[in-house]
A and B are shown apart, each in its own frame.
Chain A
Amino acid sequence: MNTESMWYIFINACLVNNFVLAYFLGICPFLGVSGKLDTASKMGAAVTFVMLISSMCAYGIHALLVAVNAPFLQLISYIVVIASTVQLVEMFIRKMSPALFRALGIFLPLITTNCAILGLALFQTNKGYDFLQSLVYALGAGAGFTLALVLMAGLREQLGFTEAPKVVRGTVITLLIAGILSLTFMGFSGLGN
């Protein structure tokens, strides 16, 4: 059993080992949906929600699989749970806000294949977190993902006003900025001990 404090887990998941900038999880939406600040923050919220639900489910599934001694089913059952949660969120957003639904576009169903969510479920199992710790971990990871996405979107909105050379426009300059952001986040290492 893991005895890390809640505060440590949160800071660790959110800043020190930021899922996007240190673990490279969830790069696809990070590069794809970070064009506009508004969309980015809502995407972050949707991902955080899916993370919370799937983290809870993953905790239960892990306990069940240990009980029936079938650890090889872990990956398959995690992905099924995540896929169904995403389906739920998709239906909810379509009903509540069709505009947001259009803005997120293909990236909404693609939350299923967002490595950050499956990665979260796997990491919390590997680290042996209990139920509450898992929840805090999911919250921290979600906050970190949203933070990275929002920072990136803010920078890219500014970038729209500059005249970057044609060859670096698009993915190249986004990756360069991501690299600099990642360097910045290294300044947080050692925090939360």
Chain B
Amino acid sequence: MIELAGFSSVLVQFATFAGIFALLALGLNLQWGMGGLFNIGIAGFFAVGAYASAILTGAANPSHLGGFAMPFILGALAAMSVSGLIALAIGLITLRLRADYLAIATIGIAEILRLFLKNEAWLTNGVRGIAGIAKPHAAFLGPGWATLVFFAIVLVSVLLVYLGLERARRSPWGRVLRAVRENEETAAASGKNTVRFRLEAFVLGSMIMGYGGALYAHFFGFISPEAFEPELTTFLVWIMLIAGGSGNNRGAILGAVAIWLVWSGTEVLTNRLPPELVTQAGAIRLLLIGALLQVILLLRPEGLLKERPPPAPLPPKGVPPAPLPPKGVPPKGVPPKGVPPRGEARPPRGPAPPPSSRA
């Protein structure tokens, strides 16, 4: 595919990576932006997803488990299931506790997953990693078209996850989730099982991250326990969400693209460094992007796009009304004039959900 070479192929590669990061940022937005759940083990779920899909779709290999040769879609489903199950186990233990305990537990799980992937060579080939992970239908399509088709898969995935999360955000479920984040006692007092809502958000967000991992594995073609640079991946996704605007799904996507642009841009910069500094390029880039995060936190903590709480839905004609209408208001039709819309009439807020008052 000579016509693909050069600029357009760089562009497709950039956009595919940005799309994968957008998925991760969307997953984190569900957990942190909407649910107020502090996950700094993103790389763990990402890696698990990548390995699950790589092992299930790969050809037989004497040095590690493999040979299932399943289609990509099954690999992706497995990636989501495994990361979801791990999130379920972690969530069941820590979601009842304070926000910072969850954060520490997610560091722990990411670290243990890294150790597991490194030590269990029969399964993962250990530190040597798994190479030659093919894109879906790569043999049939040829390398050029496979890249393009893969880019389309990523785009469609981002779109579907975005639409799904937007729907969830506006749904009663999303509104309860935000209520739990804002004030858990009040939500509990209105009869909501708050732990369950948090658990659902945590598991669902982690499944999206696992799917992102599967996409990464197939796009990059090689994975190893260290190739992810676990803290770097986690950190980048956090900056993307904070910069884009936590709580805002469009913000998550915008942040992912913008920060991926900045991050790739710093690589262009560090490539011009004198040769004795080139080996340190990674550290310089990390310092720059870290400084960017601190500046955003200090100057514009709400990010590029603020969170906009959806208005309470007005029941459309012929559809069952919104839950719990106030007494005296007829269950169908538009509320009488002069009555302000119920619920959620709240000024926009900053990025960070306030600390939960659980203690």
Tell me if chain B binds chain A.
no
Residues of B that sit less than 8 Å from A by CB: none
Residues of A that sit less than 8 Å from B by CB: none
